[in-house]
Amino acid sequence: MPATLRLRRPMFPITPLALLGALIVGFWVLVTLAGPSIAPHDPGAIVDADVFGSISAAFPLGTDYLGRDMLSRVLVGARYTVALALAAAMLASTTGTLLGLFAAVSGGWIDATLSRALDALISIPSKMFALMMVASFGSSVPLLVMTAALSFMPGAYRISRSLAVNVQALDFVQAARSRGEGLVYIACVEVLPNIIRPVLADFGLRFVFTVLLLSGLSFLSLGVQPPDADWGSLVRENIGGLSEGAPAVLMPALAIATLTIGVNLLIDNLRGRRGKGM
């Protein structure tokens, strides 16, 4: 009798809420990639005499404080909000994870030195650190990415190190040490695959934190500078329309909210595959 074929279950089973989060995130990723090409107007052009205009067929998201099309500005601004946050979060998570793995498998004075140095950095609040960096070096896109990455890298380090310390004490890692395997092999082949799911979940959180940090800086006029604009600066420059309920101030805030909610839904509802006996 032929053996029954078993379908392999996915590593990350998709729940309905995770699917909803993935759809929201995927939508904003597509907007980031295609936004400038599908924007109906030049984002810097004044296209209407009515400032803080309401939603209409001609302007689906209304107009801003100068009469510019908000749909075009939100579409173009997505590339700064999403792309910069993604770049900074990837840099922070990758660097922090690699340092955490290195510290965990090395131990001794290397682990102690890295941990104390990054503990000192994590003691500085992220917004205060960002304000110091911008005040010292000015605001530019590379500086914003580097500042956000440095702010959140210690947190990624602590997560990956704590996970790696537990894994590297297990028998299969000790067996690899007994075979004479090097630190790079142990870290990348033996330890990293066993901590990858919580590391990816932490990456999602770092991305959300970075979006909020960069948007907050832009709201304070310290982030992306004119004539470019991200969603945070769109909220700031149209804050005068808040009392009127103008869509120009509500729509970029709604974009930030939906992006962060989508990422949280995705990472909170991706359930890892259970092992045997669990």
The mean pLDDT value for 26-35 works out to 91
- For the ranges 7-11, 152-156, 168-172, 187-191, the lowest mean pLDDT is seen at 7-11
Q: Across the chain, which distance is largest between two alpha carbons, in Å?
A: 79
Q: Are 193 and 173 in contact (CB under 8 A)?
A: no
Q: Are 51 and 65 in contact (CB under 8 A)?
A: yes
- Note the pLDDT tens digit of each residue in 234-270: 999 999 888 888 899 999 999 999 999 999 888 877 6
Q: What pLDDT, on the 0 to 100 scale, is given for residue 13? A: 62
- Predicted TM-score (pTM) of the model is 0.83
SS3 of residue 270 by DSSP: strand
Please tell me the distance from the alpha carbon of residue 263 to that of residue 202, in angstroms, as a whole number.
11
Lookup: tokens for 10: 């996915």
Q: Are 71 and 61 in contact (CB under 8 A)?
A: yes
Higher-pLDDT residue of 110 and 8 is: 110
How many Cα atoms within 13 Å fall on the side-chain side of residue 190?
Answer: 25
Q: Compute the CA torsion angle 88, 90, 92, 96 (nearest 10 deg).
A: -170
Lookup: tokens for 213: 């940090």
State the Cα angle at 100 between 98 and 121, rounded to 5°.
105
- Note the pLDDT tens digit of each residue in 195-235: 888 888 889 889 999 999 999 888 888 888 888 888 999 99
Which residue from 154, 111, 112 is spatially nearest to 129, judged by alpha carbons?
154
pLDDT band at 76 (very low <50, low <70, confident <90, very high): very high
Q: What pLDDT, on the 0 to 100 scale, is given for residue 49? A: 83
Which residues, 6+ apart, have CB-to-CB distance to 73 below 8 Å? 43, 64, 229, 234, 252
Q: State the SS3 of 136-172.
A: HHCCCHHHHHHHHHHHHHHHHHHHHHHHHHHHHCCHH
The distance from CA 240 to its chain's CA centroid, rounded to whole angstroms, is 29
Does 3 score more than 50 pLDDT?
no
Alpha helices in the chain (DSSP H): 16-38, 70-106, 108-122, 126-137, 141-168, 171-178, 183-185, 196-219, 231-237, 247-268
Does 187 score more than 90 pLDDT?
no
Does 6 score more than 60 pLDDT?
no
- For the ranges 7-16, 43-52, 90-99, 256-265, the lowest mean pLDDT is seen at 7-16
Please tell me the distance from the alpha carbon of residue 156 to that of residue 174, in angstroms, as a whole number.
25
Domain at 16-268, CATH class = mainly alpha
Which residue from 240, 248, 269, 271 is spatially nearest to 25, judged by alpha carbons?
269
The mean pLDDT value for 32-53 works out to 88
Q: What pLDDT, on the 0 to 100 scale, is given for residue 69? A: 92
Q: Which amino acid is at 71?
A: L
Burial profile 139-176: b = 16 or more Cβ within 10 angstroms, e = fewer: beeeebbbbbbbbbbbbbbbbbbebbbebbeeeebeeb
Q: What are the domain boundaries of the chain?
A: 16-268
Q: What pLDDT, on the 0 to 100 scale, is given for residue 157? A: 92
Does 278 score more than 50 pLDDT?
no
